[in-house]
Amino acid sequence: MVQTLTSNDCVRANAVGDDPASLVEQLRSQLGPGPHALVIAYVAPSVDRPTFASRLQERFPGSLAIGCSTAGEIGVGGYSSGGAVALALSSASFRVEHTVFRDVRSLGIAEGQLQVQALLRRLAAAGASPTANNTFALLLVDGLSYAEEALAGMAATVLGDIPLVGGSAGDGLAFGTTHVFAGGEALPHGAVLVLVQTELPFEVFKTQHFAAGERRMVVTAAHCPTRTVHEIDGLPAADEFARLHATTFDGLGPEFFAAHPLLVRVGGGEYVRSIQRKNPDGSLTFFCAIEEGLVLRDARGHELTQDFTQMVGKLEGSLGELQATIVFDCILRRLECERLGTVPQVSQIFERGRCIGFSTYGEQFRGIHVNQTLTGVAIGGRSEA
């Protein structure tokens, strides 16, 4: 079988500026008016988000238009900051159905399960029954809701073998308010789950460039609903973390946390638990769920660009030339690249994979919420005899 690329199956676009109407017009000019099965747009936090979301749906009538605010964009050419990036999936090659969770903070498990079950039924009624071979799920969720674990876990349980990937919306490094876009609305505490069905080959993936080291720390006091750790090994969390890493409280910040992630071992796997910020009371707030008694391990990193290059190579080996790769890249990975001066190299790898995505406050992969990780789905070309 020979794989061929159809140029209009997956089309990417970049737009510059802060004006919502201008950004949407730039995207529409590059993507075409459609109707597309799906338009995904990621926008810088400086842009008026409700206006952008409304304009996006208005200018792509007949298409499902979704997206979110970011902590940085990934578009044509790799990492970018400011403006918007977007991807259109053609109606000829993709079928989509979606459901919106308007406030994930108060969403009950049973209510959520009913929504996902109804979503599966709608997709099946519109065409082929959804399976792991023809359908994948995309999840965009408020990055400050503290609800990603519950939402992703609930959705994955109902979806079964259908793979799920996603990202937590961002707000730069302000950590103020994030927005998820769906159907013309910008939801500050919401989420959107999209089922994408296609005959094109695809593969979901997760990669991280860290492994557990020898040093262990135990969470001895925490406020789980806000992912806040008050004590590590019985001592004030921020001061003890700083002491263990040979710095001071004042030396703790986003770049330091990006360089010193922690890991937990769950079910035989290793998952990053990254620190979002230090707090004036000496506590530490994490990007992922934390609980008392949890054993945290220092992470040993290896070269991010090498790890990422190998990942793209594997995807090309299984799918052939890639049409597009929808990616969810932790903001701490981006901060690491900025600190090490590897942004140009990593951007080249993003472009090799025809990536579109954003810097997140967390990533979802098959029902698990993770940090300092790259997750996504790569889409290949058509196969012909």
- Distance CA(289)–CA(226), nearest Å, equals 8
Write down the pLDDT at residue 300.
75
Confidence band, pLDDT 50/70/90 cuts, at residue 14: very high
Q: What does DSSP say about strands 94-101 and 322-330: parallel, antiparallel, or unpaired?
A: unpaired
The domain locations on the chain are 2-207+305-384, 210-300
* Average pLDDT of the chain to the nearest whole number: 92
Distance CA 111, CA 116 (A): 9
Query: By CB neighbour count within 10 A (0-12 exposed, 13-18 middle, 19+ buried), where does 153 fall?
Result: middle
Would you place residue 258 in the very low, low, confident or very high pLDDT band (cuts 50, 70, 90)?
Answer: confident
Percent of the chain with pLDDT over 70: 96
* The pairing of beta strand 284-286 with beta strand 10-15: unpaired
Residue 254: both structure tokens together: 């986003």
State the pLDDT at residue 1.
Answer: 36
C-alpha to C-alpha distance for 368 and 150, rounded to whole angstroms: 9
Mean pLDDT lowest among 24-38, 169-183, 371-385: 371-385
Give the HSE-up count for residue 75: Cα atoms under 13 Å, Cβ half-sphere: 25
Q: How large is the average pLDDT for residues 55-81? A: 97
pLDDT greater than 50 at residue 4? no
Query: What sign has the CA pseudo-torsion 106, 108, 111, 115?
Result: positive
Q: Do 140 and 343 meet the contact criterion of CB atoms below 8 Å apart?
A: no
Tokens encoding 349: 């790898």
Lowest-pLDDT choice from 97-101, 262-266, 343-347: 262-266
**What CATH code is assigned to 210-300?**
2.60.40
Instruction: Tell me: pLDDT of 266 over 80.
Output: no
Structure tokens at 17: 């500026």
Residue 82 phi/psi, 5° resolution?
100, 150
Q: Determine the Cα–Cα distance for residues 138 and 358; give it in Å rounded to an integer.
A: 14
pLDDT at residue number 2:
37
Higher pLDDT, 368 or 10: 10
